């Protein structure tokens, strides 16, 4: 796809993979500036986010393993109490789409669930940091490195 301006995401619905949220929360230096702007624009209502409930499972693993209840609660608050962010439960339609994506692209189940959720929710884009997911044709996958501030 190439580069995408954050301003081009206005009024769009974006499926969210786990990695961008973790990188944002950890203030990953490689992605801190772009993800801070991305989530700031989201908080201003410029676009909508959708994520599979599986994101909650994935982000909680390390904080629970290290007994960091403060970070675990921050993740819960973001995913369950943020305006403009919908956390979607697995349902039969998503399960069916997950199986189709796994069969067609040989994806890992978690990746297929995230993508199927975004497709089922009619997202315009899916934000990930898995470059190999760009092979998916059912939804436009964008990576963090493709985002630019404008």
Q: For residue range 17-50, list pLDDT tens digits in order.
A: 999 999 999 999 999 999 999 999 999 999 999 9
User: Does pTM top 0.75 for this prediction?
Assistant: yes
CATH superfamily of 4-148: 5'-nuclease (3.40.50.1010)
Q: What are φ and ψ of residue 51, in 5° steps?
A: -145, 150
Do 77 and 70 form a contact (C-beta atoms < 8 A)?
A: no
CA distances from 98 to 10, 69, 115, 125, 148 (A): 28, 31, 8, 17, 30
């Amino acid at each position: 796809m190439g580069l995408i301006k954050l301003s081009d995401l206005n009024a769009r619905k974006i499926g969210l993979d786990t990695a961008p949220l973790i990188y944002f929360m950890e203030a990953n230096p490689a992605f801190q500036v772009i993800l801070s702007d991305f989530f700031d624009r989201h908080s201003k209502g410029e676009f909508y986010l959708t994520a599979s409930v599986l994101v909650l499972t994935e982000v909680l693993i390390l904080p629970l393993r290290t007994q960091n209840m403060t970070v675990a609660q921050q993740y819960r608050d973001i995913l369950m109490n943020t305006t403009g962010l919908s956390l979607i439960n697995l349902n039969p339609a998503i399960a069916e789409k997950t199986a189709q994506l796994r069969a067609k692209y040989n994806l890992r189940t978690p990746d297929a669930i995230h993508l199927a959720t975004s497709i089922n929710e009619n997202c315009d884009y899916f934000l990930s940091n898995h470059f190999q997911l760009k092979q998916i044709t059912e939804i436009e996958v964008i990576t963090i490195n493709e985002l630019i501030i404008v």
